[in-house]
Structure 1
Amino acid sequence: MELTTVWFVIIAFLWTSYFFLEGFDFGVGMLLPVLGRDDVERRVVINTIGPVWDGNEVWFIVAGAATFAAFPEWYATLFSGFYLPLLAILIALIVRGVAFEYRGKRDDARWRARWDRAIFWGSLVPAFLWGVAFANIVRGVPLDASHDYAGTLLDLLNPYALLGGLATTALFALHGAVFLALKTSGEIRFRARRVAGIAVVAAIAAGGSFLLITQLQHGKPVTWLTAAGAAAGLLAAAAANRRGREGWAFVGTGAAIVLAVATLFTALFPDVLPSTLGSGGLTTANAASSGYTLKIMTWVAGAFTPIVMIYQGWTYWVFRKRIGTSHIPPAPKKRPEPVR
């Protein structure tokens, strides 16, 4: 197997890991105002991802860095043509991270409410725009002979891309609801299961439609299997959630996300960014770095990727237990004003 193909597979793996892990983070953030009916319940919801959300975002950073190093032409064209959507994603992620850190800094209901809204929008915007971005990558965008983006922002907001955004939003909301049912106890757990029962309908409708159109327009024979596997994962998640088997429901939603992303990357290969103008498209061959660069990167990835995976797996094992409102300590009371 050529190193260009190897690195296409590695980058696909990095993005798949990011969407699997950050997907339930986004879902939890989007469901915060739905499942957290008071401050204590909202603290429970946030604490389910508190120890892991920043580690999950590392996969995005590594995926971007790997794309830059292995396929610099792809990176340059992608980040210039998709500048505004990616900037919106970056701002949303920054605001979301700040909200997690600053929400509890003041004992003020309005202060916490503002940061709760920031968590909601900071989760919803990336969940939607990642779907828009990857749908456009598979569909192709206007590229000239120099591999420069020749379209406008409106070209990225085509019906297929918007459907992709709705699909990722619904999938991540379902993934987050199932994760909350798996990680919480008491009323929040049962509320999350009810929400998951509703979200799975939206995920099947939006995700199924998107994958079907993808298969009919851009798919290959093998992607029928991955797309069908993604649909089966959603159906299995719905059945497991109905029976109260949260662990198996999470496996089902996770499998659906993994297989859906696999469908997109398999349909894309050997292209990395097709051109709708008939020329100027980028492939694994004309967008790649030198063979020596890819060889060095392969050794580095082989050495450090297992370490990162072991460490992150250990983190999830340490914080594997359920939490509920009984585990949340009382909010610190305001200190009395000093007498002058």
Structure 2
Amino acid sequence: MGLQEFWFILIAVLFTGYFVLEGFDFGVGMLMSVLGKTDNRRRVLINTIGPVWDGNEVWLIVGGGALFAAFPDWYATLFSGFYLPLLIILVALILRICAIEWRGKIDDDRWRRRADLGIMIGSWVPAVLWGVAFANIVRGVAIDADKKVTSSFFDLLNPYALLGGITTALVFALHGAVFIALKTADDVRIDAADLAKKLAIPTVPIAGGFVLWTQLAYGKGWTWILVAIAAVAVIAIALLTRSEREGWAFAFTTLAVIATSVLLFASLYPNVMPSTTDPAFSLTIENASSSHYTLMVMSWAAVVLTPIVLIYQGWTYWVFRKRISTKHIPPSIGLPPKAGSTKAG
């Protein structure tokens, strides 16, 4: 295995880790209006991801940095050609970050409602658009001889990509519902488990259809193994959510996300951005990579630093592993509201 292959695999691992970890973060935010019937319940939902959500986003930052350093042409073509959807994702993530961080700063009902809306928008939008973006990367877009994307924004809204967006939204919502059931107690846990059962009904056939389409249109012979793993995972999720075994259900939602993400990257290889204009214009791991020396230096840094980051993040999850409920939520200590606003009860 050469350095280009090593870095392609590492980037796939980073984005897969992001989808697994940030996936349930998005799911929690997406379900705020459904499971957060009172302010205390919404605070429980936020606190399930409170200690870890910002660490989960680091996977995206590192993945983007690795993409820029290892495959600069891939980075340039992707971020210029997908400028609008990626900008929308970035704005949504910023909105979500600000809403989570500032929600408790002012003790005011309207302030919190607006923050909750920001959390939901900042969760739903990336959950859909990441699926649309990665489906288009695998499917291919119009790229010319100068490595520039000539497709328009509306060209990205093709049936396969839209199915990819619906799939990621449903999978992340289910992933989040199972995580909430795993991390909470009392009535929040019961409602989350019940919602997970309902979400599994549309998620199984839609996600299965997207995976099968990906395999038939872009997959390879050996990637049928990944299709089988994803199929077993989604079936297990449907059964485990019914029996309310949220620990195992979360393990299988994680497995489903991993199998789907690996299938996408495996279907893409050795291309990194296929061209629908002319296959000769496609970006590959060979013609889009940095120099051998650059990749060598980066590889040594990755070998040294990656285990440290993984150990630290694993320790964080272990420390904050206990369930929480509305009984654990203290009174709000935010600043008093401005004159004319509705004070919280």
Q: TM-score, normalised by structure 2?
A: 0.96
Partner residue, 2:39 = 39
Instruction: Tell me: CA distance 1:333–1:61, structure 2 relative to 1, closer, same or farther (3 Å).
Output: closer
Please tell me whether the aligned partners of residues 105 and 334 of structure 2 are also in contact (alpha carbons under 8 angstroms): no
3-state SS of 2:327 partner? helix
Partner residue, 2:282 = 281
CA–CA separation in structure 2 for the residues paired with 1:37 and 1:336: 22
CA shift digits 1:3-28 (9 cap, x unpaired): 10011000000000000000000000
Cα shift at 1:52: 0.4
CA–CA separation in structure 2 for the residues paired with 1:136 and 1:81: 11
CA–CA separation in structure 2 for the residues paired with 1:99 and 1:231: 36
3-state SS of 1:51 partner? coil
CA–CA separation in structure 1 for the residues paired with 2:191 and 2:161: 32
Unaligned runs of 5+ in 1: none
CA shift digits 1:62-91 (9 cap, x unpaired): 000000000000000000000000000000
Cα shift at 1:106: 1.1
Counterpart of 2:269, as a letter, is F
Instruction: Tell me: CA distance 1:109–1:214, structure 2 relative to 1, closer, same or farther (3 Å).
Output: same
Q: After TM superposition, where is structure 1 displaced by more than 3 Å over at least 4 residues in a row?
A: 332-337
Partner residue, 2:229 = 229
* Mapped pair 1:57 → 2:86: no
RMSD value, Cα: 1.3
Pairs within 5 Å for 1:287-298: 287-298=288-299
3-state SS of 2:161 partner? helix
Pairs within 5 Å for 1:16-165: 16-165=16-165
3-state SS of 1:331 partner? coil
Counterpart of 1:235, as a letter, is I
Q: Aligned residues, how many?
A: 337
Q: TM-score, normalised by structure 1?
A: 0.97
CA–CA separation in structure 1 for the residues paired with 2:22 and 2:333: 30
Identity over aligned residues, as a percent? Answer: 59
Cα shift at 1:222: 1.3
Counterpart of 1:295, as a letter, is M
Counterpart of 1:258, as a letter, is I
CA–CA separation in structure 2 for the residues paired with 1:334 and 1:159: 48
Pairs within 5 Å for 1:182-331: 182-278=182-278, 279-331=280-332
Instruction: Tell me: CA distance 1:13–1:335, structure 2 relative to 1, closer, same or farther (3 Å).
Output: closer
Please tell me whether the aligned partners of residues 104 and 334 of structure 2 are also in contact (alpha carbons under 8 angstroms): no
CA–CA separation in structure 2 for the residues paired with 1:61 and 1:198: 33
CA–CA separation in structure 1 for the residues paired with 2:211 and 2:126: 20
Cα shift at 1:335: 5.8
